[in-house]
């Protein structure tokens, strides 16, 4: 294993560990020592630094050989998954979410509206979709570590955040959880919720669509890899 690839593995492990701490027993003592606001600020800075390290290590690392590489028509499937990921992730980030830091469940009306009817973790699910879209095409070792690491963290994060937020919100979280799901559209298919296109807001959808078009157009220039055949 080359030094550059080792750096990518180490950077990815560091990023994963940094995000496991908030869900572990270590968070309490750290918050008690430095305070909630200082902890969140420090966590954000360290997370950003680790992500930049990951990106730099990915760019510097050799491919490490391909386990698989699927070019051609499957790239259209990858692009479609990316479209869903961007619309869901951006739309979910704009709206309030009880699972976010300091978030609360709406007291009146439906506890989950908008993108939360689709999944209670829009952003994390979008990261899983983004990771899957890239791994569907690129099976080189550095891509497996980079995209796989981020996708795995997002998937595990949905469960860890559920556990942490349920303790924070108690019965209010139970009310929210009862009408939502981690897997997109599952609660709707099970009859526990309904899809409301109007609640998604056209301008949120427009931002997601615009982001997809811009990334699609700039992908070859920025990443050096054409997203479509």
Would the pTM of this model clear 0.75, i.e. be above it? Answer: yes
pLDDT number for residue 83: 97
pLDDT in tens, the chain (229 residues): 566 889 999 999 999 988 877 656 667 777 778 777 887 888 889 899 999 999 999 989 887 778 888 888 999 999 999 999 999 999 999 888 998 878 899 887 889 999 999 999 999 999 999 999 999 998 889 999 999 999 999 999 999 899 989 988 999 999 999 999 999 999 999 999 999 999 999 999 999 999 999 999 999 888 888 888 8
> Residue 35 has what pLDDT?
78
pLDDT of the residue at 229: 87
Tokens at 29, concatenated: 């003592």
For position 159, what pLDDT does the model report?
A: 93
For residue 2, the model assigns a pLDDT of 62
The residues facing 66 across adjacent strands are: 140
Identify the pLDDT of residue 22.
Answer: 67
pLDDT, one tens digit per residue, over 59-100 is: 898 877 788 888 889 999 999 999 999 999 999 998 889 988
pLDDT value of residue 102: 80
Backbone dihedral angles phi then psi of residue 68, each to the nearest 5 degrees: -155, 160
**Length, in residues, of the chain:** 229
């Amino acid at each position: 294993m080359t030094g550059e690839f080792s750096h990518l593995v180490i950077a990815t492990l560091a990023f994963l560990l940094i995000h496991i701490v908030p869900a572990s027993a270590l968070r309490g003592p750290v918050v008690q020592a430095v305070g909630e606001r200082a902890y969140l600020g420090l966590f954000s800075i360290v997370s950003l630094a680790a992500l930049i390290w990951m990106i730099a290590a990915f760019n510097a690392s050799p491919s490490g050989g391909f386990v698989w590489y699927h070019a051609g028509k499957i790239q259209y499937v990858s692009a479609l998954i990316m479209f869903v990921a961007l619309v869901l992730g951006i739309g979910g980030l704009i709206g309030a979410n009880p699972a976010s830091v300091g978030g609360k469940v709406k007291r009146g009306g439906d506890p989950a509206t908008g993108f939360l009817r689709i999944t209670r973790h829009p952003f994390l699910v979008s990261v899983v979709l983004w990771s899957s879209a890239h791994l569907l095409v690129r099976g080189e070792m550095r891509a497996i570590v980079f995209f796989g690491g981020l996708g795995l963290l997002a998937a595990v994060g949905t469960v860890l955040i559920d556990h942490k937020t349920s303790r924070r919100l108690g019965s209010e979280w139970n009310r929210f959880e009862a009408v939502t799901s981690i897997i997109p559209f599952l609660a709707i298919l099970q009859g526990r919720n309904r899809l409301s296109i109007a609640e998604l807001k056209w301008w949120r959808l427009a931002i997601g669509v615009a982001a997809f078009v811009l990334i699609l157009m700039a992908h070859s220039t920025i990443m050096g890899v054409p997203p479509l055949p």
